[in-house]
Amino acid sequence: MTVHTTEWTMTSDITPESAYRDIEGTDIWRLSWLPNRSLTRAQAQAGMELDELLSDPHGVHDRMIQARADTYADQLGILREHAVILLAKRMAARLSHDQRAKGDTAPPGPGPRTRRLRTHSIEPPFVHG
């Protein structure tokens, strides 16, 4: 896991999210997954590190990784759980966009559940009369 940084951007080798410097001549940064929040460079770095930690499925049950994630989230002023939700929404939006770009209008996942119609009818018993 590596966050690649330049004077203007931060990118990751494992996640599509990024950080970018907002306005020339200032130290305001924004995260792609937290775009409405003005951040310092250190906070943007923490956000990228947090994203990388949360993107690694091996860290789900590792208490040390979760503690680091909590520290990074705290630097952003959010809870780790909130970051997970925001990143999951971004992932879902990307998947939905990719599906539409391929011409597939169905949402990802199993199709809608439908009731199975009976192919035969039940007739009342024959009565002799």
Q: What is the pLDDT of residue 111?
A: 52
Mean pLDDT of 43-62: 94
The mean per-residue pLDDT over the stretch 40-55 comes to: 96
**Cα–Cα dist 87/113, whole Å:** 28
All structural domains of the chain with their residue ranges: 3-101
What phi-psi label fits residue 61: left (phi over 0), alpha (psi between -120 and 50 degrees) or beta?
alpha
Give 80-107 pLDDT, tens digit per residue: 999 999 999 999 998 887 777 777 655 5
